[in-house]
A and B are shown apart, each in its own frame.
Chain A
Amino acid sequence: SQQGEEDPQALSIQEGENATMNCSYKTSINNLQWYRQNSGRGLVHLILIRSNEREKHSGRLRVTLDTSKKSSSLLITASRAADTASYFCATVSVSAGNNRKLIWGLGTSLAVNP
């Protein structure tokens, strides 16, 4: 099943603008995590939001979760050229138990132009 579908697939903005990326998923989740990947590099954990949380902040990042719509959004405020990367949402389903495998979307490719 396809879990964690991000939109848009690609986003290009100017430095200083805000970037919003959305993620939808299909099954009931335990938590949802956002990761960042610079081209060809590793996956860096950004933020985790649990199913009983609606919003979380970390620095310039703001994540929301709407379990009734099975969707999440990642907002990056005051973007910088260094924010250029791919951003992925990944979910852990309720049925995962101790396995906690992450199910991934295709990601949003963000380009922040100086």
Chain B
Amino acid sequence: EPEVTQTPSHQVTQMGQEVILRCVPISNHLYFYWYRQILGQKVEFLVSFYNNEISEKSEIFDDQFSVERPDGSNFTLKIRSTKLEDSAMYFCASSPEETQYFGPGTRLLVL
């Protein structure tokens, strides 16, 4: 059964560094999402992507964040200058219509 994959599974970085989180959505899905979950807190929506453009972004998704679908299969989330509070589990999801299928997540730790 097709799955959403994410790499890396863990990333440790220094504050101020750039990180790129990668996702391979399920092929033929049309909608793509990034969410994050800070330890012990709710899952939070970051951004949705449809038809090769951002369809909605949350207040969290400020100028430090960007998304790309560079080659029609990968879907990346870039954080330009990481802050301590960016430490979280980041989940990618894709959807053909309604149901969203999640990847295993990338655990990001900013020191």
Contact = CB atoms under 8 A, between A and B. Distances in A.
A41 B42 CA distance: 14
Given A42-B91, A42-B103, A104 B98 contact: no
Contacts of B28: none
A7 to B, nearest CB: 14
Given A41-B105, A42-B105, A43-B91, A102 B42 contact: no
Nearest to A48: B99
A33 B104 CA distance: 18
Contacts of A107: 42
B107 to A, nearest CB: 8
Contacts of A101: 33, 45, 48, 56, 58
Interface residues of A, number: 24
Given A48-B99, A99-B56, A104 B43 contact: yes
Contacts of B100: 33, 45, 100, 102
Interface of A: 30-31, 33, 35, 40-45, 48, 88, 90, 92, 98-107
Interface of B: 31, 33, 35, 41-45, 48, 50, 55-56, 58, 89, 91, 93, 95, 98-105, 107
A100 B33 CA distance: 9
Given A42-B102, A99-B56, 11 more contacts: A33-B99, A35-B102, A42-B91, A45-B100, A98-B55, A99-B48, A99-B50, A102-B35, A102-B45, A104-B44, A107-B42
A45 B101 contact: yes
A35 B48 CA distance: 19
Contacts of A88: 43
B104 A42 contact: yes
B59 to A, nearest CB: 12
15 contacts: A33-B99, A42-B102, A42-B104, A43-B91, A43-B102, A44-B102, A45-B99, A98-B50, A99-B48, A100-B31, A100-B100, A101-B56, A102-B100, A103-B45, A107-B42
A106 B48 contact: no
